Chains A and B, each alone.
Chain A
């Protein structure tokens, strides 16, 4: 008995009490959501117009944003971890800026560059007749902007942790660096890529500030769940709670399904 519960596992009071407060602080608001939910009218609220549209849009845009992040973020992470490009430290610092930047500011920045009068946007508009703001594409771009750094940092960490001697072994077998990346490096860091993708997806799903600034709030094209929740809160708080519950259920469901991928099971 004493052997299975060694003395060192006792939590000191000084740590235990703040830890309890920490748990309470994180969990009680979610419980509040459950307690205050209008369970009786749940079905009615779920069938209100726009609910499933918003959910579909959220899932679609978050998934597309994740794909964009993987497509561009994995090569970027590789370059940061493995190559000898000059100014690597600076690039890494720049990559992490969207992590700490308020999303609204990110949205404004996107608007200034890709808006119809923006630095790049005006040429897209003139030459190709493409206007990005206030479209579903804009939602994906806004979400990618805030989500990609999570993926880059996660994959870069995995690449740094991976044994580079496997790459050397592949090279001595005649593999080019691209083949080595595809057949050796990438499979070895796959758990890191998966973890990064889950983080990016979760971040994209919850994105609000950059989306509403750059893509606006149009039901059916740019109104994702967080936006729908915000709008509903003004008119029908019960609907907002139901939407929140739905978002909570979906994100928790996905994270639990992928949990073993990115949280090492103790």
Chain B
């Protein structure tokens, strides 16, 4: 009897598991119109190991310092880099699964790539470049050319169809590259530093254009960039990659507000410290301490804006709870303000006006006092 009931219990457990699996399958069905990848690429002295997903219509930005493995991840998705382990699913189809000896060649993958320096075929006109993909997919020549002309029109280059890549400006070449990648109607679009080759003035326009095209695109999109602004403007979700690992992931606003690594903090221009909170005082991991407005306990991050840092030639009398001696290391222009990098315990970034730089005589080596009001700090659990 008891055995039986155990058996029943087991059975129900199993059926529950089946249901769960069914749900997961359904979820996968829901997720099946998307990218779902686990990438592991091993090279001497470097290992990339990340999980990456992207829903249809979602733009995911891979952001990270040079050598973090961003481009390697992109190449692995495109099939240009073999996986050491992992799996790439796209819309329920397996593109890569080394364990099962499945590996679709790049030309077999429904993936479009915009390369960093575009790699437009120099001997073909803009139109022929865009028509290349459809032609390779077996579209008749005339039809492919019509299609290409339509794509060029869509990216605003309808009248440059016969131009060779060498005659195009950087921004125009970028648009042709985008049209070329989209003309094969990929289900996954990969962009490797799509704006890095452009000068600052062109960049603003092309970025806005790219944003428009990406929001019109209904497949999944993974974008590699080292520019936080590109990521903020273009992406629905940011994945921070450092030394082959994901260190933070979230919506752009979340990542910007609550960075979890020094790299991200520097990227978004925040002072970030990790420490141990004991009430209103956080003892920092490096050394030094910060008094904060929201008391808490345990491992926390403390963040505050560089503009919240006040600089004084003498120790200020009065209210600021955090006040410590610092030495100027560098002064750089940052938008309308000057960003001052200060050595001290802890080191800190401060934004001041050009007038203040002159008044305080800020040059590398100047000794000052930095002050931050507790109310300007933000604390969140590590």
Chain A interfacial positions (CB closer than 8 Å to B): 163, 165-166, 168-176, 179, 183-184, 187-188
Contacts and interface: CB of A to CB of B under 8 A. Distances in A.
Given A170-B121, A172-B112, A173-B133, 11 more contacts: A163-B119, A165-B119, A166-B121, A168-B78, A168-B106, A170-B136, A171-B80, A172-B78, A173-B184, A174-B133, A184-B121
Nearest to A179: B136
Contacts of B122: 188
A49 B4 CA distance: 112
A188 B184 CA distance: 23
A173 B119 contact: no
Nearest to B123: A187
Most buried by A among B105, B109, B132: B132
Contact of B80 (A166, A172, A173): A172
Interface string B109-137: 10111010001011110000000110011
A173 B134 CA distance: 8
Interface residues of B, number: 23
B107 A172 contact: yes
A135 to B, nearest CB: 40
A22 B171 CA distance: 52
A174 B107 contact: yes
B115 A173 contact: no
B132 A171 contact: no
A172 B106 CA distance: 5
Contacts of A184: 121
B115 A165 contact: yes
A163 to B, nearest CB: 8
| Dominant secondary structure of chain A at its interface with chain B | helix
22 contacts: A163-B119, A165-B119, A168-B106, A169-B119, A170-B121, A171-B107, A172-B79, A172-B113, A173-B107, A173-B112, A173-B132, A173-B180, A173-B184, A174-B133, A174-B136, A174-B137, A174-B184, A175-B107, A175-B132, A175-B136, A176-B107, A188-B121
- Among all A-B residue pairs, the 8 with the closest Cβ atoms: A173-B133, A171-B106, A175-B136, A174-B136, A169-B119, A172-B113, A187-B123, A171-B107
Contacts of B113: 169, 172
A221 to B, nearest CB: 42
Contacts of A175: 107, 132, 136
A174 B122 CA distance: 18
A184 B121 CA distance: 7
Contacts of B78: 168, 172
Most buried by B among A166, A168, A173, A175: A173
B127 to A, nearest CB: 14
Contacts of B112: 172-173
A174 B133 CA distance: 6
B206 to A, nearest CB: 19
Contacts of A169: 113, 115, 119, 121
B170 to A, nearest CB: 17
B136 A168 contact: no
